[in-house]
Amino acid sequence: MAKKKESDKDLETLRHSAAHILAHAVKELYPDAKNTIGPAVEEGFYYDFENLDITPADFKTIERKMKEICKKNYPFEKKEVSLAEIKKMFKNNKYKIELAEEFKKAGDKLTIYQDGDFADLCRGPHVESTGKVKAFKLIKIAGAYWRGDQKNKQLTRVYGIAFPSKEELKDYLHKIEEAAKRDHRKIGKELELFSFHDCAPGMPFWHPKGTIVWNELIKYWREEHHKAGYGEIKTPIILNKELWEQSGHWKHFKENMYFTKVDNQDYALKPMNCPGGIQVYKNRVRSYREFPLRWAELGLVHRHELSGVLAGLFRVRSFTQDDAHIYCVDDKQLKEEIKGVITLTDKIYKKFKFDYHVELSTKPEKAMGDAKLWEKAEKALADAMKELKKDYKLNPGDGAFYGPKLDFHLKDALGRTWQCGTLQLDFQLPINFDLKFMGADGTENHKPIMLHRTIYGSIERFIGVLIEHVAGKFPIWVSPVQVKILTVADRFNDYANTVAKKMFDAGIRVDVDDRAESIGKKVREAQLQQINYILVVGEKEVKDKTVTVRTRDNKVHGAEKIDAFIKKVVKEIQERA
């Protein structure tokens, strides 16, 4: 695990101290509640209580009490105590006694921390006094079992967040609110992009509009890969057991795979594209002159995830990887190929205005392949980054057992990061599949170096991230509906349809709204549908052969000649502006 920064530790201490204050307040307000544990967690803290029957409506009262405790500025006083003292102090709280007995057994000193008249069994550390906790908020309630064991009694878990300043708390709350507004599941429904159904849990169904988004991403991807010298392959999604045994998946990945039996033979749905792709490689003898080989594959893979972890497009059971496998003959080629992947990834992320950072993960303790090979491969990854003048974060020992890797983490408009792209060296599969090539020496005694890489990662997840990044406001080239023409009254419908036909013929995705609704309502609906250009037509527009242009940000841009408008929009689409 990465070492924690000093500021992270401070924040953790602050949040854990806030958990004490929460327990203090709860005990004053609900004397029969039994407090158990209250750690800091990522982005906040929680405290688990037995016998606490509250709802979020009670948060105000509890927060008010917490504020009182903060205002009193009680110091957190540490005191060493004996097990006997603990048993006396917490005679009504078996949880604390259980913990104390455990600490004692482990040879730890027993300490309590007291603020005002509230004392808690704890190892610390805490902030100096309750007054240091200046900005907090209770967030939610959940059920939790003591020690996570369902056989134990269910406790009430109260979650909160705390920050060193009110501004940071405000920023955080704003971000949460904004994230909820941008939730891709919500926007996906509103814009009719995709849905999920009980007949295939965790496997998205793409609607016509969502499929447009999908196809536009793929079209762009294909163009860029073609320019970068990739070939594209397609392989089956069902492959037999022998193949998965050879690849090692049958042994190491079985619990995440789907199976089927055909003619009494075992088959599996592919969880990864590599073993299928390798069959294309092995179809004939490869000569060193052919390398590097760059083969991309948009492969639909299935991985069984527990139903509890499924989350919209972010965590699914079937997804399409924008995979590619690259085979090289030597170190020089390897470095050039790595640079090529980094450059292509950079170009594609920039197209969507994503910032990103890269992490380099090196040899773990349990690794296959000799140390020299690893050293060379890690150096190739690091040198490629350096030569391209790119920074990266080093994660020592975090590589896969079969090779080192670079991971690309996207940063979205809310500052959240998403690991999407990856570039992995693989020393294992070329051995498992006995990959060879014919060298300049005329023998087949040569092993290629294999690279796996993705840029979008999973197309499904990337679309989810993109939706939240742009809050449903797709760039025009991606938008399912780019232009909508709204008529002021029925008698302008013919004109609207003629204009729409012209745009359609020019390759613009255009709709007409000729319903007998008020123009205000039609504009509002088109804005909510995140249409890039909303055109209003009435008397004046028909007479002047124009359209009045508005954008989804509620700006009115005025009248434009039809042909000039079409030309401008077509250019924007083609340039993927």
* Residue among 213, 225, 203, 405 at smallest CA distance from 297: 225
The window from 3-11, 258-266, 286-294, 445-453 that contacts Zn ion (CB under 5 A) reads 445-453
- Shortest separation between residue 411's beta carbon and Zn ion, angstroms: 26
The window from 51-59, 116-124, 222-230, 385-393 that contacts Zn ion (CB under 5 A) reads 116-124
Q: CB-based burial of residue 177 (10 Å sphere; 0-12 exposed, 13-18 middle, 19+ buried)?
A: exposed
Check binding of 184 to Zn ion (CB under 5 A): no
User: What mask of x and - would describe binding to Zn ion in positions 64 to 103, judged by CB under 5 A?
Assistant: ----------------------------------------
Contact by Cβ (8 Å): 164, 127: no
Collapsed DSSP state (helix, strand, coil) of residue 215: helix
| Pick 62 or 274: Cβ nearer Zn ion | 274
The window from 120-128, 203-211, 382-390, 544-552 that contacts Zn ion (CB under 5 A) reads 120-128
| Pick 403 or 464: Cβ nearer Zn ion | 403
- Non-local CB neighbours of 196 within 8 Å, separated by 6+ positions: 202, 203, 204, 205, 312
Site for Zn ion in 41-60 (CB under 5 A): none
Q: CB-based burial of residue 122 (10 Å sphere; 0-12 exposed, 13-18 middle, 19+ buried)?
A: buried
The window from 104-112, 248-256, 448-456, 470-478 that contacts Zn ion (CB under 5 A) reads 448-456
- Shortest separation between residue 152's beta carbon and Zn ion, angstroms: 22
Site for Zn ion in 533-572 (CB under 5 A): none
Structure tokens at 30: 């609900």
Positive or negative torsion for Cα 492, 495, 498, 504: negative
Catalytic positions? 274, 303, 321, 323, 325, 405, 452
Residue linked to tokens 């849990």:
201
| Pick 408 or 477: Cβ nearer Zn ion | 408
- Shortest separation between residue 87's beta carbon and Zn ion, angstroms: 19
| Pick 247 or 532: Cβ nearer Zn ion | 247
Site for Zn ion in 449-488 (CB under 5 A): 452
Total residues binding Zn ion (CB under 5 A): 3
Check binding of 122 to Zn ion (CB under 5 A): yes
Check binding of 127 to Zn ion (CB under 5 A): no
The window from 122-130, 194-202, 229-237, 246-254 that contacts Zn ion (CB under 5 A) reads 122-130
Cα(355)–Cα(73) distance, integer angstroms: 42
Cα(421)–Cα(461) distance, integer angstroms: 11
Collapsed DSSP state (helix, strand, coil) of residue 370: coil
| Pick 127 or 483: Cβ nearer Zn ion | 127
- Shortest separation between residue 48's beta carbon and Zn ion, angstroms: 14
Check binding of 162 to Zn ion (CB under 5 A): no
| Pick 317 or 452: Cβ nearer Zn ion | 452
Which phi and psi angles does 514 have, rounded to 5°?
-110, 20
Vertex 413: Cα angle to 216 and 44 (nearest 5):
130
Q: What is the DSSP string of 306-368?
A: -GGG-BTTTB-SEEEEEEEEEEESSHHHHHHHHHHHHHHHHHHHHHTT-EEEEEEE---SS--
Check binding of 274 to Zn ion (CB under 5 A): yes
- Shortest separation between residue 33's beta carbon and Zn ion, angstroms: 17
- Shortest separation between residue 133's beta carbon and Zn ion, angstroms: 12
| Pick 122 or 155: Cβ nearer Zn ion | 122
Taking the alpha carbons at both ends of the chain, their separation in whole angstroms is: 41
The window from 350-358, 444-452, 461-469, 506-514 that contacts Zn ion (CB under 5 A) reads 444-452
- Shortest separation between residue 278's beta carbon and Zn ion, angstroms: 9
Site for Zn ion in 312-351 (CB under 5 A): none
| Pick 128 or 494: Cβ nearer Zn ion | 128
Torsion (CA) 462, 464, 467, 468 in degrees, nearest 10:
-110
Contact by Cβ (8 Å): 422, 405: yes
Length of the chain: 577
* Residue among 50, 284, 18, 11 at smallest CA distance from 147: 50
Contacting residues toward Zn ion, per CB under 5 A:
122, 274, 452
